[in-house]
Each structure stands twice: as structure tokens, then as C-alpha cells.
Amino acid sequence: MAFRTPRGFMAAIFIGVSTILPLPAWALDDAQKQELGAFVREYLLANPEIVEEMQQALEIKKEAASRMMAQTAIIDNHDAIFRAPEDIVLGNPVGDITVVEFYDYNCGFCKRAMKDMISLLEKDPDVRFVLKEFPILGPDSMAAHRVAMSFRKIAPEQYRDYHIALLSGDVRATEAHAIEVAKGFGVDESALRAGMDDPAIDQSIRQTYELANALGISGTPSFVIGNEAVFGAVGEEVLLEKINNMRQCESTIC
């Protein structure tokens, strides 16, 4: 029968080694290192669940560090995140809770999140929804976002419908496709192309990249609600829960 070493015994062994050998671990001779290494290997093979526990503990620690980093970034960049003048606001412009979304027109999960946004805004008339253009999926995305940013300066009152039309399509969002969609809303192509060269577009995209970096955002969609950065298409129910928590206790987690 295999002998199952109690977990506490592992700690005791290391304590015992450090007591018997008042030397740092690197000072062990080769034979001692080999003996200790063999013991550790045997112990972990006999208790493989420890590796899983260590991985879970590491993930919890990383998530906590990520939350702390995002919370600090939200405080330091509050106006740039929630009140940047170049951002498009959907829903209630004076709503009591703001949801900020970082998205890319070629992101499949953003298409799913768009449906959550539409439903959320229909159910909650007091939500202010801010869109952050965050083209990270290659040159096509960058070009499509530049067209969209030009469109919103020309026809801001139609931007919501344009945004939905461009993001919901099955065709890859390219410059040509984004222009064709815009023309369907009656916007002149030459005016669009002229607007794409506006230096303010580059500045806005650069600021969004800087904010994403500070928040620890590396993918789309990502959201900022209150004091939390939320990564991924988490679904309407999760977003609504965080919104309601903000109203109840001024935090996404009550």
C-alpha cells in the first residue's frame, strides 16, 4: 500500500531542513539537493491536487492584482474614461450609471455584447453607455474605426444605427465595407475620407490605447463600470447586476 504523506509533513520537512542546516537553500550540496528534490517530486506525485491548488491560488492572486491595478487606473483617469468629449454616448446622456465599452468592429464577442447593450438600454432608461473605439485586430479594424470616427463627426445623430449596422454584419469590417455602410445612411464618401485624416482621430485612438494599458485591458469587449474593469462578453445579466450594485452600494460588488 502506498504511503500518503500528510500535507503538514511537507512543511515540517522544510522547517526541519532549515533547522538542521542553518544555510540558504542554494548552499546545499549536490547530494542534499538531489535528495530533497526526489522527496518533493515523490510528494507531489502522491498529492497532485496540490499543484491544482497552487494554480488556483496563483489565479486568485493575479485577479486581485489586476483588480487593484484597474481600480487605481479608474481613479487616476476618471474623466478620460467616463467623460472624454470625443466619445459617443448612447442611452441616457444624464443617466445615473455609466457603462464604458472598449470594442473592435471585427471582434466576434463584441457582436454578442452589442446585443446585450441594446437589450440593457431598452430595459434600463437610466444607463449612460459610452463607446470607446479600440481597434486592435489588425489594419482592417483600424481603417474601419477611422471611417466610423469620421462618420460620427458628420452625422452624430445617426451614429448609433451606423454602429449597430457595421458591428452586426457578417462581412469583415474593412475601410471599403465601412464606407459602403456609411453611404447607406446618406453620408458622402468624399466627406468621410476627408474626415478620416483628422489628427483628432489619431489622438483619440492613442488615448484609448493608453487607457486600456493602464486598466490592464488587452482584449475586446472590455467594460468599465464604477470601480471595476470587466473583461470579456460577460452577458447582460452580469452587467445588470453590477449596475444595480452600483446603485445600492456604490460598488459593483456589494
pLDDT tens digits, 75-91 = 999 999 999 988 999 99
Query: Would you give the distance in Å from CA 12 to the centre of its chain?
Result: 42
Cα distance between residue 254 and residue 245, in whole Å: 6
**Among 234, 254, 233, residue whose Cα is nearest residue 245:** 254
Q: Residues 151-175: pLDDT tens digits?
A: 999 999 999 999 999 999 889 999 9
**What is the per-residue pLDDT for 147?**
98
Within a 13 Å sphere around the CA of 92, how many CA atoms are in the beta-carbon half? 13
Q: Residues 13-39: pLDDT tens digits?
A: 444 444 444 445 556 678 877 878 888
Strand runs (DSSP E) across 86-187, as ranges?
Answer: 88-91, 97-103, 127-133
Whole-angstrom CA distances from 244 to 92, 102, 218, 224 are 16, 21, 26, 14
Looking at residues 214-227, what average pLDDT do you find?
Answer: 94
Q: Which residues of 96-112 are buried (b: 16+ CB within 10 A; e: fewer)?
A: ebbbbbbbbbbbeebbe
pTM: 0.75
**What is the per-residue pLDDT for 86?**
86
Which domains are present in the chain?
A: 7-76 (no CATH), 79-249 (3.40.30.10)
